[in-house]
Amino acid sequence: MPAEIGTISSRVGQRINNFAIYTYFLSTLFIVFFSVHAVQKWPGLWAQGAISLACMVPSITVFFIVGPDLIRGNKWPVEIKFSLIIIVLGLLNICFSENQLASLKGMGLFLMSGILVFSTSFYLFNSKQTQKFFIYLCSFCFVVLLGFGAFEFAQQTNILGKRIILFSSNPIPAGSLLILLSIGPLIMALRAEKRWQIIFWYSCVFLGVLLIISIAQRGPILALIVMAFVGALIYRKGTWILIVVALALSGLGYQFRDKAPLFYKNQTIKLETVLVRMEFYYVALDVIREKPIFGLGFNSPLTRYIPSDYEPKIYS
């Protein structure tokens, strides 16, 4: 009898674990293809409800699996302790915010889509098989985005002002999404055994880099450069290749700098957004002097720190 109970319990636990993995993968597809569009275009309640479900359902399912052990256990993983600290700080930020409702919406989204997803992934990805399937999923999403990005790039020749935004409504998260998902084809290329597979996946990565550059946003391009250097430091055998490629690309960029389309040149060298951010540092100093611990709260307005007679110090 105890053996039968143990077998049934094991089967139930396995089914719950499989359900958590399936919902996690479905949520990943939603986040990749619809989340940014949902936040910016969907009605408020629909967007909040959809993103909350995408983040909460896998997390709640995982809690049913590991929750009892965490409650009974005396030793928690360092990663979970770190997550709890961030959650507590986020809740305190909401409590001391000057606009608690705005902070609750913004910080709640950050905690759900950031810390909660991290904690869920920490437990779900203990299985090598789950890790492998997730790499497949990232690679699939990356290839789909490449195809859609090529379609948007082709539209630029016929539609004035058309931008590459993929499935979002902003080019910046589009480029960032490509960088995050590129881990899929990179790992697939490193693990591939057949020559055609290696060529295919490295070609996908190369096309992804071209697409990120075509998006013409400095943030994703800078993130791409940093990721490449970090990768070279980790895999030191490829450092010289990175240096040669970087020098070659820099030389080509300098050689053909006058032939670059005006749109891309304006996007990559404009200083307006940089100056605005630097101007806000002065405003931030006033906030720190008045509220050095918790500040104004996430998403709280800065209007009272920028009076009508405010004179810009950097941006004008």
Profile the chain (316 residues) by mean pLDDT over runs of 10 residues.
56 79 91 80 80 87 80 79 90 88 83 86 88 94 90 74 70 82 88 90 86 74 73 63 60 53 54 71 82 81 76 69
Residue 37 has what pLDDT? 75
Residue 7 has what pLDDT? 62
Residue 206 has what pLDDT? 85
User: How far is CA 72 from each of CA 65, 66, 67, 87, 108, rounded to the nearest angstrom?
Assistant: 13, 10, 9, 21, 28
The answer to whether 64 and 16 have CB atoms below 8 angstroms apart is: yes
Residue 141 has what pLDDT? 93
Q: Which amino acid is at 189?
A: A
Two tokens at 59? 């997390």
The residue among 211, 214, 191, 213 whose CA lies nearest residue 201 is 191
Residue 153 has what pLDDT? 79
Q: What is the DSSP letter of 192?
A: -
Residue 161 has what pLDDT? 62
Two tokens at 35? 């989340």
Two tokens at 154? 């082709």
Q: What is the DSSP letter of 297?
A: -
Token pair 């959650």 in the structure block, residue: 87
Task: Compute and round to an integer the Cα radius of gyration of the chain.
Answer: 23
CB-based burial of residue 267 (10 Å sphere; 0-12 exposed, 13-18 middle, 19+ buried)? middle
Can you tell me the distance from the alpha carbon of 291 to that of 297, in angstroms, rounded to the nearest whole number? 10
Query: Helix axis angle, 2-33 relative to 117-124, nearest 10°?
Result: 130
The residue among 91, 30, 20, 95 whose CA lies nearest residue 58 is 20
The residue among 36, 28, 34, 15 whose CA lies nearest residue 54 is 28
| Contact residues for 97 (Cβ-Cβ < 8 A; gap 6+) | 103, 294, 296, 297, 298, 300
Query: Helix axis angle, 128-155 relative to 2-33, nearest 10°?
Result: 20
The residue among 20, 24, 16 whose CA lies nearest residue 137 is 24
Residue 24 has what pLDDT? 92
The residue among 96, 27, 15 whose CA lies nearest residue 296 is 96
